[in-house]
Structure 1
């Protein structure tokens, strides 16, 4: 039997009302391999203890942010012998779980995972995804590892969602969809200079693009998003997909539907709408960017490297 460990975020949206029941069952079934770390340092320490005890599958009970924190801490804790992950989707947004799969959330889903592990079935269904790593060129902070990043209008849309969407109790797919829709709607209405974009330079696999304001930039190693949204196109085996839209893009009102479906019209390819695949991306930016729901400052140097040199295996029953 593969040994399981559980990292649980009690502050995740769906965990707030079931803390006692889940904590009790997890402690009973896993003993020392159940933890609710409160800080990144504590998380790294817990994961290092899991590694010493040969925990082979780490169950992450939380949303995208919790998965991001685990992915960020794993290389230091486990080195090159990485475990597999399984996600109990209990966060405000669960893009990663929607792509790689999930057993569900809560005590029942957790007990199912444990039972599958005992029967030797857990680990027979695996989804592998490259891990998106953001590295600060000036060394102002440690790397962050996740699956989805965005900046410019995406950063502003995330702030808008945190203020309005989540406060209305809209989570999961609707929250993500409304984040994107809200950004596009404000841009189309000319609200608050959204179409002006943010100053940015984008280097794709060493090739410089135009240094100019960008309305929207996205990058991901996921294979799908939510509600049929997939604003990427272009062929290739490189692990990172990206979308790069110039400030004041041509006919945004006509581009919204083909953009959301990843099926660009000819006019989009000719003016300001760029998408493709890459091994590495280097961003010269001044404004914050978002990785799996959390905002990060680009630092005084303003240069952030994106790469995907590591992969992670996700398991579901």
Structure 2
């Protein structure tokens, strides 16, 4: 969750100073949601926002929702998210409940530990608020669209979540491992590499009873069609096109919802793992229990916890689909 809780400038000016109209949208009302405890912001604390730009640092989901409701009520052209993937997930999960269909342009400052969304968008590693404001002034700024994953519970008692990388099974274990990796000082792509390699070694060379080879119960239906039952080593889904280090577990980059479904225990993992990550179409993988799919909607039951953009959540009867596309200012 987002720490801190302040609104440095309670007055909301009508026009951000120094900004000029751009094609299709006049980015005159700009808000920033900053996570001061994100890795990058702790290492290099940013200064105050420029005059006319409203900066908030809400603590917790309720405070974040309140700030976003204020932004939506007063009107916003550009919402800058200054944090990592978890901060992005928290913000975009609340957009349908605060802005409705009148979504602002978004910009992501990659100040987290991994910044997978920023990698996919091609946002420079050192992109800061100043660069985002310069991009907003351009006559023809570079904008990319990405639909987020939307995760909903069948019981309807919890609000939906939106993010960009979903996982069940091994990804949940890998998330716990990644948190330990971060504690010993590995971040960004190096953290991703250490996590992938360590998890792969455990899964390949661990014994038959090793926890990394164990599956989780999962009942899956794709677009309403039930899939063979059984335990899963991993179920992954994303709407991103590009992942760190160029790995392509979902196959060649393409639009839409993409899924990788792996049986447990994973068969011939030492040989299959490189082929899966390469993105190559290898017919033998299907027979070994490694299935790539492009569904419109995934129904998942079994109760296993899942990870969404770096945080583990309680499982249940879930539906994973795509939310409306979000527009990101990237340069």
TM-score of the superposed pair, with normalisation by structure 2: 0.86
Tell me what 1:63 maps to: 84
Contact 2:218 2:232 in 1 (8 A): yes
CA deviation vs aligned residue, 1:45-64 (integer Å, no higher than 9, x gap): 11121122221111111000
1:4 equivalent to 2:4? Answer no
In structure 1, C-alpha distance between the alignment counterparts of 2:262 and 2:81, rounded to whole Å:
34
Tell me what 2:322 maps to: 308
Give the superposition deviation at 1:173.
1.5
In structure 1, C-alpha distance between the alignment counterparts of 2:134 and 2:172, rounded to whole Å:
41
Residue of structure 2 aligned with 1:47, choices 68, 77, 95: 68
In structure 2, C-alpha distance between the alignment counterparts of 1:152 and 1:204, rounded to whole Å:
18
Question: Over the residues paired in the alignment, what is the CA RMSD in angstroms?
Answer: 1.9
Residue of structure 1 aligned with 2:109, choices 88, 92, 101: 88
Larger relative helix fraction = 1
1:158 equivalent to 2:175? Answer yes
Q: How does 1:68-147 map to 2 (within 5 A)?
A: 68-105=89-126, 109-117=128-136, 119-121=137-139, 124-147=141-164
Q: How does 1:1-40 map to 2 (within 5 A)?
A: 1=21, 2=27, 3-19=29-45, 22-24=46-48, 26=49, 28-31=50-53, 33-40=54-61
In structure 2, C-alpha distance between the alignment counterparts of 1:234 and 1:284, rounded to whole Å:
28
Contact 2:249 2:276 in 1 (8 A): yes
Q: Which runs of 5+ in 2 are unaligned?
A: 1-20, 22-26
In structure 1, C-alpha distance between the alignment counterparts of 2:222 and 2:198, rounded to whole Å:
28
In structure 2, C-alpha distance between the alignment counterparts of 1:212 and 1:220, rounded to whole Å:
22
Q: How does 1:150-299 map to 2 (within 5 A)?
A: 150-163=167-180, 165-191=181-207, 192-233=210-251, 239-298=256-315
SS in 2 for 1:278: coil
Task: Label 1:36 to 1:232 Cα distance change in 2 as closer, same or farther (>3 A).
Answer: same
CA deviation vs aligned residue, 1:127-182 (integer Å, no higher than 9, x gap): 1111101101122421110011111011111111212x111211112222332322
Q: What is the aligned length? A: 303
In structure 2, C-alpha distance between the alignment counterparts of 1:224 and 1:67, rounded to whole Å:
17
TM-score of the superposed pair, with normalisation by structure 1: 0.90
Q: Which runs of 5+ in 1 are unaligned?
A: none
Contact 1:130 1:310 in 2 (8 A): yes
Contact 1:157 1:183 in 2 (8 A): yes
In structure 1, C-alpha distance between the alignment counterparts of 2:193 and 2:263, rounded to whole Å:
21
In structure 2, C-alpha distance between the alignment counterparts of 1:95 and 1:8, rounded to whole Å:
18
Task: Label 1:132 to 1:185 Cα distance change in 2 as closer, same or farther (>3 A).
Answer: same
Contact 1:61 1:105 in 2 (8 A): no
